[in-house]
Structure 1
Amino acid sequence: MTTTDAPIILQIQKEAYISEAQLHNDFKIPPLTQSLAELESEFNNMCILKVIWDGQIIGSGQVKLNGSTSHIGRMAVKNSFKGQGVGSKLLSALEQFYPEANRVELFTGINSKANLSMYERRGYRRIKEGTLGKTTVVFLGKSLNTASKA
């Protein structure tokens, strides 16, 4: 992935996160206020995966390794592809991106019931709650199966 993909990724991110902003009545969340230059600079600090369908980018997500923990963020799927398993497959790819990781963590808004349900079905457990701007977020984590990595 290169920064030439950044404009479409930013567009998908903003489209996807508007529903999150509505759930929390907070339209100043970083995925909505992020500039193109800010997104492009993230290409230097983390891995950004893209999902391509029929030659077009339809989703993306970020992952960064900190010690032995992968931190996942900014998962976004075009609205027209939601509910088709794209987000779940993207999450799997992000979880497996760093084979040396033995844990993965992420967060979502406390009112994002669908996200929380999906993460908990996939083995994530709530760690803590915090506040980002006006939004209360839930931090979740899970251990990765290190036995299968040997």
Structure 2
Amino acid sequence: MGMSVTISAATDHDAEQILKLQYLCYQGEAELYGDYSIAPLTQTLAELRAELAAGCVLVARLGEEVVGSVRGAAGPEGTAVISGMIVHPRMQRHGLGGRLLAAVEARLAGEGATRFRLATGHRNEGNLRLYRKWGYVQVAGEQVTRKLTLVTLEKEPERETAASGAREGAPAEAALATSR
């Protein structure tokens, strides 16, 4: 019998696993842009622990192993910023990124978020595809370096529709999953 992946709030105990997973997951991003000095690859354990203490950090676990993570923070004007979403390469393309995104959105909406914002590199087609699937639309682009343009995407929180119980703005698969 296989184990299922669970999503929960990260603890300080998870910091080392998150940092190692982050380092693994951002290698492709660094290669894509030819820049191995990006923040996720240079972040220290102390900096990550400070993020754990200050904001919303969720982890996906397969047994005791952290196989995914995402961070978020609700801003004072209702815009929540989502960042640092990572999924172990062997767990990608199985819906875990979408589950993490839905979980952090739900948590941040509970903290009063009225809009969600995230960013990714312009060449990261996998991230762009996932975010668009979950209802995000591009609102800005900023050239960070000669090789990297950061694409900012936003969306409104999902709402339950009275007639169907399905979530407006959610992918059809997610709406089906909530009704099962």
- How high is the TM-score relative to the length of structure 2? 0.77
Distance 1:131 1:45 in 2: 29
Q: Verify the 8 A CA contact 1:102 1:145 in the aligned structure 2.
A: no
The answer on 1:117 being equivalent to 2:129 is yes
Secondary structure, in 3 states, of the residue corresponding to 1:123?
Answer: coil
Within-5 A mapping of 1:59-78: 59-66=68-75, 67-78=77-88
Q: Verify the 8 A CA contact 1:62 1:73 in the aligned structure 2.
A: yes
What corresponds to 2:26 in structure 1?
Answer: 17
Secondary structure, in 3 states, of the residue corresponding to 1:71?
Answer: strand
Q: Verify the 8 A CA contact 2:98 2:134 in the aligned structure 1.
A: no
What corresponds to 1:94 in structure 2?
Answer: 104
Structure 1 segments unaligned to the other structure (5+ residues)? none
What corresponds to 1:56 in structure 2?
Answer: 65
Distance 1:123 1:6 in 2: 30
> Aligned-residue CA RMSD in angstroms?
1.7
Q: Which of 123, 148, 163 is 1:135 aligned to?
A: 148
Q: Verify the 8 A CA contact 1:26 1:135 in the aligned structure 2.
A: no
Give the residue type in structure 2 aligned to 1:139: T
Structure 1's consecutive aligned runs of 4 or more residues displaced over 4 angstroms after TM superposition are: none
Aligned sequence identity (%): 34
Give the residue type in structure 1 aligned to 2:82: I
The alpha carbon displacement at 1:23 in A equals 1.2
Highest CA radius of gyration, 1 or 2?
Answer: 2
In the alignment of these two chains, the number of paired residues is 149
Secondary structure, in 3 states, of the residue corresponding to 1:44?
Answer: helix
- How high is the TM-score relative to the length of structure 1? 0.92
Distance 1:95 1:26 in 2: 30
The answer on 1:126 being equivalent to 2:138 is yes
What corresponds to 1:4 in structure 2?
Answer: 13
Q: Verify the 8 A CA contact 1:61 1:76 in the aligned structure 2.
A: yes
The alpha carbon displacement at 1:76 in A equals 0.7
The alpha carbon displacement at 1:146 in A equals 4.9
Give the residue type in structure 2 aligned to 1:96: A
Q: Cα deviations across residues 24-81 of structure 1 (Å, max 9, x unaligned)? A: 1111111111011111111222111010112321111101000311110000111111
